[in-house]
Each structure stands twice: as C-alpha cells, then as structure tokens.
C-alpha cells in the first residue's frame, strides 16, 4: 500500500517556529508538496521539493530527504492566521506518465496560541 | 483567471438517488483531478484526466462512480445509487502540464450529504 504519515495535531505559540514532519511509503516518488487548508476552505499550495534539500518561501520552508523518505514543513514567526491543517502530498509516478497521481497525507492540524 | 469552480456547493440527497457534480477548471489547465475528503482526513484520490482522457482511477472507487471530461474542458462526477458512506466533500483540482513541480489549484468543493 501507499501511505504518508504526519502528526495529527501540533500546537505552538504565536511568534514561535514549528516543524511538521512527513514520512512516506509509496510505489514511486516524484516530488513532495505541501498544502494548507483552513476550516471550510479549499487546500492551497505552499511548496514543492523535487530534490533533496531546503526550499524557502517567505516564512515557510520545506525540506526533503529522499534517502530517508522524509520531509518537513517549517513555519517561522507564527501568526494566528497560520492556524489550519497542513497536508503533505507525493506524486507517485513521473509527471509525463499516464498513471501519475498525487497522494495526500491525512493532515496535521496546527493550532496557534497567543 | 477565475479559479476552479465547482457546482453545486452543497447537495443533499436520499439514499439510492443519483447525483452529478460539475467542475470548471482554470481554462489553460489540461490536467484535472477529483478527490474526496471527509472530516479530519486528507483528500483521497478518485480520478485524473489529462485533457479529455481519463488516465487513472482509484482502485478503491466502486463502479457507482463515473467521471467524464468531454472536450477536455469541464468535468462531471456522477455517483449512482448513493449510499450514506458517500457523504463527503468532493474536491476538484486542476493544473497545467508539468514534468516537475506540479501545483494543484483546488475548487471550493461540493459537500454531499446522503440521508
């Protein structure tokens, strides 16, 4: 089977830094993405890692280690509006493959305290 | 760019009825995905189109589910003989073709309640 494991809940303080981990076990691996979803809203794209290392986009960074089948999302200078669910997602076949699909983890609910 | 549009936003139906949802992707996007999401879970892959061709369908999807994308534009998802277990948010997403970084743009979803 294919699985992506994330912590179900994380709580952090406003202004702090939080890391959300994701480990994956899929038939193939062609990139790890992160999405944010506020309650009642649609998932929105945050970041993508195709190669090992760190990608930075403003307050958000994402890391990938393909040898460890592991990645994380790092959120800095937390704001109350960052309270949301965060999903890691893996593409399991090359993008040009007809059988390609993107699989999502079950999500991490991040709660920010003042 | 008006984003991905899904209709209806909410659908309440009785068990055994058929329902159909519509998704209008971003106009220049040739890839279209359907996902299902229940409370506290991540989006579950249902099916995927590249232009008008349905290239992948989840093995978990029963024969009661069918999707089409005529002319490679809008898509419809039909559920026949609905069951209470079909109650969920049905999300559509589109993306432009890319061999590397693929960014999905999601619609607001159709919330299905089967009574």
Give pLDDT tens digits for A56-87. 989 999 999 999 999 999 999 999 999 999 99
Indicate the average pLDDT of chain A.
93
How far apart are the CA of B100 and the nearest CA of chain A, in angstroms? Answer: 6
Please, which pLDDT band fits residue B97 given cuts at 50, 70 and 90? confident
What span, in angstroms and rounded, lies between the C-alpha atoms of A16 and A4?
26
pLDDT tier at B99 (50, 70, 90 boundaries)?
A: low
B85-101: average pLDDT: 87
Q: Which residues contact A105 (CB under 8 A, 6 or more apart)?
A: A4, A5, A6, A22, A24, A87, A88, A89, B42
Which residue, chain included where needed, has tokens 């936003």? B9
Is the per-residue pLDDT at B74 higher than 60?
Answer: yes
Binned at pLDDT 50, 70 and 90, residue A98 comes out as: low
Task: Collect all residues from A whose CB is shorter than 8 A from any CB in B.
Answer: 4, 31, 33, 35, 41-45, 48, 50, 87, 89, 91, 94-96, 98-107, 109
Please list, in sequence order, all residues whose beta carbon lies within 8 angstroms of the beta carbon of residue A3, skipping any fewer than 6 positions away. Answer: A24, A25, A26
CA distance A108 to A59: 18
Residues from chain B contacting residue A31 (CB–CB below 8 Å) = 100-102
Q: Which of residues 41-60 of B touch A (CB under 8 A)?
A: 41-45, 48, 50, 53, 55-56
Q: Mean pLDDT, to the nearest integer, of A31-46?
A: 95
Residue in A59, A55, A71, A63 with CA at minimum distance from that of residue A112:
A59
| Chain B contact probe: residue of A101, A105, A107 with most B CBs at under 10 A | A101
Q: Would you say residue B61 has pLDDT above 90?
A: no
DSSP A39-106: TTS--EEEEEESSSEEEEETTEEEEEEGGGTEEEEEE-S--GGG-EEEEEEEE-S-TT-TT--EEE--
Residue A89 has pLDDT above 80, yes or no: yes
Distance, in Å, from the CA atom of A82 to the CA atom of A86, rounded to the nearest integer, reads: 10
Can you give the pLDDT at residue B101?
A: 66
Contact B44 A99 (CB under 8 A): no
Share of chain B above pLDDT 90, in %: 74
Q: What's the N-to-C CA distance of chain B in angstroms?
A: 36
> Is it the case that residue B110 has pLDDT exceeding 70?
yes
CA-nearest residue to B42 within chain A is A106
Nearest residue of A to residue B33 by CA position?
A101
Predicted local distance difference test score (pLDDT) of residue B57: 85
């Amino acid at each position: 089977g294919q699985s992506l494991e994330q912590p179900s809940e994380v709580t952090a303080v406003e202004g702090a830094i939080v890391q959300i981990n994701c480990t994956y076990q899929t038939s193939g691996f062609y990139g790890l993405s992160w999405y944010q979803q506020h309650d009642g809203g649609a998932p929105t794209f945050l970041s993508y890692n195709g190669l090992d290392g760190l990608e930075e986009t403003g307050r958000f960074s994402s890391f990938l280690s393909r040898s460890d089948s592991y990645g994380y999302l790092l959120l800095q200078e937390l704001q109350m509006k960052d309270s949301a669910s965060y999903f890691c997602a893996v593409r399991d076949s090359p993008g040009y493959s007809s059988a390609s699909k993107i699989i999502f983890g079950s999500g991490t609910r991040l709660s920010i305290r003042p | 760019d008006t984003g991905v549009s899904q209709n209806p936003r909410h659908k309440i139906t009785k068990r055994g009825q058929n329902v159909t949802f519509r998704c209008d992707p971003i106009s220049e996007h040739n890839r279209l995905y359907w996902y299902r999401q229940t409370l506290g879970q991540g989006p579950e892959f249902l099916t995927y189109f590249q232009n008008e061709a349905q290239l992948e369908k989840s093995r978990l999807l029963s024969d009661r589910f069918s999707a089409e994308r005529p002319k490679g534009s809008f898509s419809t998802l039909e559920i026949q003989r609905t069951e209470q277990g079909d109650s969920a948010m049905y999300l559509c997403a589109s993306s432009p073709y890319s061999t590397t970084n693929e960014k999905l743009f999601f619609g607001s979803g159709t919330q299905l309640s089967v009574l």
